[in-house]
Structure formats: C-alpha cells, structure tokens
C-alpha cells in the first residue's frame, strides 16, 4: 500500500505514488545538473517534462489509476539518464537564448535549492522506522546512515530520545541535501567492503581502517602466544585492549556491514567519495570501473580480452537500462532483513575460519618460542654439532616457516596486496618440507642414542644393622634450585614436576630413583643399588651408567639417600636411573619418610613404545621390572609409599603399620 499524491505537472493534475514522485524528482534534478550550463536549459527541461507528461497521460488513459514506480522507471529508461546522453558542446555561434513562445513553467512542484539548515523535521522519504535519524542527519548535514549507526550503538540511551523525537517532530518530505554518503565499497572489499567504504568516505588509505579493525585481534593473538611464558604484571591492560576492544570492534564491523548500503551504481560510488555527481565525474567513474575490469581480464589472453570487452560493453549498456529501472528499488531493499541474515551467516563462517587460523598461529608461536626456551636443555640430549645444527634447522624451518607464511598472508590480506605469482607460496612449502626432513632426521638420530639400555649389576651397600627399624629418608639438599627454568613454567609445582632440578647450567639433577622392598633371606637388612642408563650401544650405556653418583650415608638407624644424581652436559641425559632394593628381615620394620615422594620415575621404553611418569604418590604398590636385566622376581618387589612404615611378614609382603 503506497501513498499517492497529486502533482501539478505541466499544467495537468497527475496522481502519482509518493515514491514514484521521488524518483521523478531525482531524475529531473539530475537533468538540471546535467544541463546546468546549457543555453536554454529551462526550455530543454520543459520539453523533456512535456514529453514525460505525455507519456503519463497515455498510461492514465489506458486505465492506470496513478503513476507508479514502474511507470516512472520505464519513462526514465526511455528518455535516458544523463550519463547516457551523447556529449555535446554548446555552439560558439549561438546567440543569446531566446525564450520564444508561451509555455507554462513547471516550477510548481520542483523545490528550489534547500535553504540553509531550516528547522528540524522527520524525513518522510528516507525512513526505516520513523525517519528520525534521517531527518536529524539532514538537519545536521551528515549521512543518515551514520546517524542510524549511532542510534543503534547507543541504543539504551538514545532509545527514549528516538521515541521522543518521533512523537514531537513533524514529518515532512524533504529533499536530501547531502552529497557525501557512507557506502560500502564493492570494489575494495575483503569481507564486506566496510573498511573500503570508510576509507572512501573519510578520504584515507584503505589499510588504515583495516588495521584499526584487525589490530585488537592481532594483539590478542600475540599476547596469548606469549602468556604461557610470562605473567602480565599489569594484567588489566591487555584485557581491555585485546578482550573487550577486540570484541567491540568486531561488533562494530558487523553493525556497519548490515546497516551501510553498498554502492552499486556509478552515481552512488561518486556519492561515496563525496564527488560532484555530474556528467564528467560519472563518466570518469564508469571508465575507471571498466578499466578495473579490463585489468583483471588481461591475463586471459588477447582473444578472450577482446571478447570480454565487447561483451562487457554490450552488457554495461544493458545493465544501465536495467539499473535505471531496478537501481532505486534495489537500493531501498538492500537494508532488508533477508540481506542482514545472509550477512550474519557469512560473517559467522568467516569468524570460525578466523578462529582456526588464529589458533594455528598461536600454537606455532608457542612451539617456536618453546623450542627456543628449551635451548639450554638441548645440550643434555644432543650429541655433536650435527645434531645441534639439526635442531636449529628444524625449529626454524618446521615451526617457523608456517608461522612466517601465516603472518605474511595475514598482512597481505589486510593491505589488500595480491601477488601475481605464487612464488612465495612455493618457497614456503619447500622450506617447510626441508624442515620436515630435518625433524625426522633429528628424531632418528636422537632416538638412536637411546637404543640400548644397560644396567650395572647390583652393588651392595654396606650398612650397620639397626635394631628393629630402618628409616629411609633423603638427605637435605645443599644446593639451590636453578630458578631460571621457572619462567618457562617448569618449577616446583606439585602436580607438574618434570623430574629434574638444576643447580647450574652445566648439570642437571635427576631424581629418577625407585625404591623397592623385599624380604630378606636372613635376619639382616640389606641394601642394594642398581644403576642403569641407555646409550647407542651396550658399551656406551654401561659407561654412562657407571658415572651415576648416588652414595648412601647412614646415621644410626637412618640411612640417607641423595635427593638425586647429577648428569652433566658431558655425560648427557640418557634416561639414567637408580634402583634401590631394600631387603628387610621378617619381623622387622622399615619406614620411609615423606621426602621420598620427590623421586620420579620416567620410563622410556623404546622398543615397546611406552612412556610414563610415575610418582610415588599413587597407591599402586606393584610395578613392572622390564627395563632391568635383573634376576629378581617381579612379584616379590614392593614399592613403598612415602610416610609409611612397614613390617615384613613371613610371606614376604610388607604390612603397613602405624607409627
């Protein structure tokens, strides 16, 4: 249902839909601009109006009740738009314009220039709800779209303002006086052309708004990549910047995507930049568009190029006729709900994709920096300069290359740069493959160092016999923990203990010690020590095992085990372990202090692909004895729980007693 008004057009009363009237007015206005400097302009306009009036009469005569949008569009299509007219220069010989003949003037319905600011009214023509924003924007001489966005963003406060204005302010049909409107730029778009449109409106380079929208995201990524490695002392700053700021920028982008219309026609594109909408600028804009199209099709070869040009020109001619009819209608409906839903779905999908990409990015950063941070430890594992260089190569090629590739791609997208050849892509892939090769070589080499396990035979530790109970505890450390590892997150956490502390950069203390209880064959306590290690071959493993320093001391009825043993960069980490076997005579007790909970047990079983870390905290009293070439039967060995006291029974099972 549309409002119909009567206009006095060329001396006749013509019923016409209000929206159709707007179209007509716009068209006449554009003609006025086109013929602005023409001699006899008024006459020409009058003639054209006369012709239009004639066409209207025909339609009304044929049974139409009023002139509709379709009628006006058809008439305009027939008459042609200013940009379609053949270019003409006024003749030099033309005498002064002479208005001969009497003809009625047609100014009864065309409004003159909009005077000043006037008073505030609601815009009855350009309205989505009540025309408040549009009228306000007209009054302030800014783009109504900006006004609408402001009202949406500050919805809570301005809601009542809006209602108030809606009631108070009268509605009036007003010709919009703005020459610069905010549009979305379809020629420069990555997602929705929002940044491109903003750039055109504010006359800045396109990467500036892109960076503004992307910056919180980037910041969030980088800070999340670093956060495992240090704590923010000023924790609130990154949250504000990366958290809420990033989120709100994202919402702003979505709001703009929905609210701001896209510039389709050449006239709209000119309005987007705030340029004068006249013949020359329209022609320039159209030419530029055509040139863009041509540049893009250049690479299809010459024949295709020519064909495309011909088709393009014919198509653009057709399109001009089409847009003359459909353009205004499309522009109105582009703010519709369906469009908004489509935009939301598209934005959601892009959001998901962005999340995946960002996660990958963060992971790569973490791996890269983690690798670098673990550098001091690598000397304990690697042997020789070849392996060392392999590690660095692996780090940068395998982890660093995808990272750099991702950064480059991201920056390129933001800047809107597109590379003609994919040379860089191939280079990155090649580097990454090289990194993959290095990684596998490294893995193979390093694994080779652990191929064989060797354990030295049981060595009895001589102790003086206590009376009834043997206390086992650890000797207090006389060294300081190496705190530098703390900043990486390896520290003294109870639930995240990697099994080693270090006192200086040249050696690491391992506490892979296991204690077992077994029944003694005589009435004496016995203590045995087994040291084991891995190596490239049996000889090397044996040698490494023999360098383990784990001496037991005794004071009265308490024996002190060291907290751990040291490995140096020279002796390397080869999964050295110490196994203490306590033989307890029947009827005698043995107690273990809580300190022995500090012992960890890392099982790396190369042949059978087993890797586990056992702490003494769990209640499991049984264990496997596969790694040791030892003659003791598994079933007779028991693992003590720290802080408990046991009494050895006849059947060989230690029974827990309370102390």
d(CA 401, CA 399): 6
Residue with Cβ nearer other proteins (44 or 456)? 44
Q: Which stretch binds other proteins (CB under 8 A): 15-23, 57-65, 196-204, 468-476?
A: 57-65
Residue with Cβ nearer other proteins (48 or 120)? 48
Torsion-angle region of residue 111: left (phi > 0), alpha (psi -120 to 50) or beta? beta
In the complex, minimum distance from the CB of residue 78 to other proteins, in angstroms, rounded to a whole number: 7
With binding defined as CB under 8 A, does residue 308 bind other proteins? no
Crossing angle, helix 144-153 and helix 155-168, to 10 degrees? 130
Structure tokens at 159: 């809601």
With binding defined as CB under 8 A, does residue 15 bind other proteins? no
Give residues 101-140 in contact with other proteins (rule: CB under 8 A): 101, 103
Which of 5, 26, 29, 80 is close enough to bind other proteins by CB under 8 A?
A: 80
d(CA 544, CA 535): 8
Q: Which stretch binds other proteins (CB under 8 A): 87-95, 150-158, 452-460, 551-559?
A: 87-95
In the complex, minimum distance from the CB of residue 244 to other proteins, in angstroms, rounded to a whole number: 53
| 394 within 8 A of 370, measured Cβ to Cβ | no
With binding defined as CB under 8 A, does residue 94 bind other proteins? yes
Q: Which stretch binds other proteins (CB under 8 A): 83-91, 187-195, 556-564, 626-634?
A: 83-91
With binding defined as CB under 8 A, does residue 379 bind other proteins? no
**Extended strands (E) in 246-341:** none
Q: Which stretch binds other proteins (CB under 8 A): 92-100, 497-505, 508-516, 647-655?
A: 92-100
Residue with Cβ nearer other proteins (51 or 653)? 51
Q: Which stretch binds other proteins (CB under 8 A): 46-54, 169-177, 337-345, 451-459?
A: 46-54
Which of 26, 29, 32, 39 is close enough to bind other proteins by CB under 8 A?
A: 39
Structure tokens at 549: 């320093």
Look at the chain and count its residues.
Answer: 659
Closest CA to 563 of 479, 469, 622, 619: 479
Residue with Cβ nearer other proteins (84 or 457)? 84
Closest CA to 487 of 366, 373, 376: 373
Q: Which stretch binds other proteins (CB under 8 A): 29-37, 349-357, 389-397, 554-562?
A: 29-37
> How many other CB atoms are there within 10 angstroms of residue 236's CB atom?
9
Q: For residue 300, what is the DSSP state?
A: G
d(CA 257, CA 339): 10
CA 566-502-440 angle, 5° bins: 85
Which of 53, 222, 503, 602 is close enough to bind other proteins by CB under 8 A?
A: 53
With binding defined as CB under 8 A, does residue 44 bind other proteins? yes
Closest CA to 162 of 152, 175, 172, 171: 152
Handedness of CA 33, 36, 38, 40 (dihedral sign): positive
Which of 1, 95, 157, 337 is close enough to bind other proteins by CB under 8 A?
A: 95
Backbone angles phi, psi at 37, to 5 degrees: -105, 15
Residues 248-287, one symbol each (x = binds other proteins by CB under 8 A, - = not), give: ---------------------------------------x
In the complex, minimum distance from the CB of residue 89 to other proteins, in angstroms, rounded to a whole number: 9
> How many other CB atoms are there within 10 angstroms of residue 585's CB atom?
19
Residue with Cβ nearer other proteins (94 or 462)? 94
Which of 5, 66, 74, 79 is close enough to bind other proteins by CB under 8 A?
A: 79
In the complex, minimum distance from the CB of residue 104 to other proteins, in angstroms, rounded to a whole number: 8
Which of 36, 84, 355, 587 is close enough to bind other proteins by CB under 8 A?
A: 84
Structure tokens at 424: 């860089």
CA 191-194-196 angle, 5° bins: 95
With binding defined as CB under 8 A, does residue 203 bind other proteins? no
Structure tokens at 67: 């002139």
Residue with Cβ nearer other proteins (1 or 102)? 102
> How many other CB atoms are there within 10 angstroms of residue 149's CB atom?
19
Which of 15, 50, 243, 499 is close enough to bind other proteins by CB under 8 A?
A: 50
Closest CA to 590 of 522, 529, 657, 512: 657
Q: For residue 615, what is the DSSP state?
A: E
| 574 within 8 A of 449, measured Cβ to Cβ | yes
With binding defined as CB under 8 A, does residue 98 bind other proteins? yes
Which of 2, 11, 229, 555 is close enough to bind other proteins by CB under 8 A?
A: 11
With binding defined as CB under 8 A, does residue 299 bind other proteins? no
CA 541-545-551 angle, 5° bins: 180
Which of 91, 478, 618, 631 is close enough to bind other proteins by CB under 8 A?
A: 91
Backbone angles phi, psi at 519, to 5 degrees: -75, 140
Interacting residues with other proteins (CB under 8 A): 10-12, 31, 34-35, 38-40, 43-44, 47-48, 50-51, 53-54, 56-58, 61, 78-82, 84-88, 90-91, 93-95, 97-98, 100-101, 103, 287, 313
């Amino acid at each position: 249902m549309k409002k119909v008004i009567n206009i006095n057009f060329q001396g006749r009363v013509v019923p016409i839909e209000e929206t159709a009237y707007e179209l007509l007015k716009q068209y006449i206005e554009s003609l006025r601009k086109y013929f602005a400097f023409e001699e006899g302009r008024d006459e020409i306009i009058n003639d054209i109006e006369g012709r239009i009036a004639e066409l209207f009469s025909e339609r009304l005569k044929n049974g139409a009740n009023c002139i509709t949008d379709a009628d006006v569009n058809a008439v305009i299509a027939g008459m042609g738009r200013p940009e379609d007219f053949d270019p003409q220069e006024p003749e030099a010989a033309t005498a002064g314009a002479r208005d001969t003949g009497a003809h009625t003037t047609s100014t009864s319905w065309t409004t003159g220039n909009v005077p000043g600011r006037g008073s505030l009214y609601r815009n009855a023509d350009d309205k989505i709800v009540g025309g408040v924003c549009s009228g306000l924007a007209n009054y302030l001489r800014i783009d109504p779209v900006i006004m609408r966005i402001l009202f949406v963003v500050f919805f809570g406060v301005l809601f009542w303002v809006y209602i108030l204005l809606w009631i108070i302010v009268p509605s009036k049909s007003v010709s919009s006086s703005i020459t610069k409107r905010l549009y979305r730029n379809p020629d420069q778009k990555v997602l929705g052309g929002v940044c491109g449109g903003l750039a055109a409106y504010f006359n800045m380079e396109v990467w500036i708004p892109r960076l503004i929208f992307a910056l919180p995201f980037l910041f969030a990524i980088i800070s999340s990549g670093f956060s495992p490695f240090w704590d923010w002392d000023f924790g609130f700053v990154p949250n504000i910047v990366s958290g809420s700021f990033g989120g709100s920028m994202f919402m702003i982008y979505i709001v703009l995507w929905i609210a701001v219309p896209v510039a389709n026609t050449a006239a709209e594109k000119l309005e987007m930049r705030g340029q004068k909408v006249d013949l020359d600028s329209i022609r320039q804009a159209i030419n530029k568009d055509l040139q863009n199209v041509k540049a893009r099709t250049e690479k299809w070869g010459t024949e295709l190029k020519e064909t495309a040009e011909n088709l393009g020109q014919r198509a653009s001619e057709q399109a001009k006729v089409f847009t003359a009819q459909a353009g205004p209608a499309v522009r109105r409906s582009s703010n519709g709900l369906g469009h908004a839903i489509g935009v939301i779905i598209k934005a959601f999908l892009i959001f998901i994709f962005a999340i995946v990409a960002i996660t990958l990015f963060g992971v790569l950063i973490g791996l890269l920096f983690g690798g670098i941070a673990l550098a001091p430890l690598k000397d304990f594992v690697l042997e020789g300069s070849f392996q060392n260089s392999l590690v660095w190569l692996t780090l940068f090629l395998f982890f660093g290359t995808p990272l750099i590739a991702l950064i480059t791609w991201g920056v390129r997208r933001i800047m809107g740069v597109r590379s003609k050849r994919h040379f860089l892509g191939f280079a990155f892939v090649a580097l990454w493959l090289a990194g993959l090769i290095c990684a596998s070589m490294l893995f193979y080499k390093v694994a080779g160092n652990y191929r064989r396990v060797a354990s030295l035979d049981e060595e009895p530790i001589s102790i003086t016999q206590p009376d009834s109970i043997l206390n086992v505890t650890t000797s207090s450390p006389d060294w300081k923990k190496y705190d530098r590892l703390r900043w990486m997150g390896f520290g003294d956490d109870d639930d995240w203990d990697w099994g080693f502390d270090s006192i200086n950069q040249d050696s690491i203390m391992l506490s892979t010690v296991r204690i077992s209880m077994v029944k003694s064959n005589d009435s004496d306590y016995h203590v045995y020590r087994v040291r084991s290690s891995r190596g490239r071959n049996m000889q090397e493993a044996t040698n490494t095992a023999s360098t383990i320093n784990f001496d037991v001391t005794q004071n009265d009825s308490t024996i002190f085990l060291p907290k751990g043993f040291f490995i140096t960069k020279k002796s390397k980490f080869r999964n050295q372990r110490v196994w203490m076997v306590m033989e307890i005579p029947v009827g005698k007790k043995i107690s273990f202090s809580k300190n022995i909970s500090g012992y960890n047990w890392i099982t790396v079983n190369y042949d059978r692909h087993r890797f586990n870390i056992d702490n003494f905290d769990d209640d499991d009293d049984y264990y496997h004895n596969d790694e040791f070439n030892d003659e003791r039967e598994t079933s007779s060995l028991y693992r003590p729980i720290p802080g408990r006291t046991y009494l050895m029974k006849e059947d060989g099972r230690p029974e827990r007693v309370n102390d």
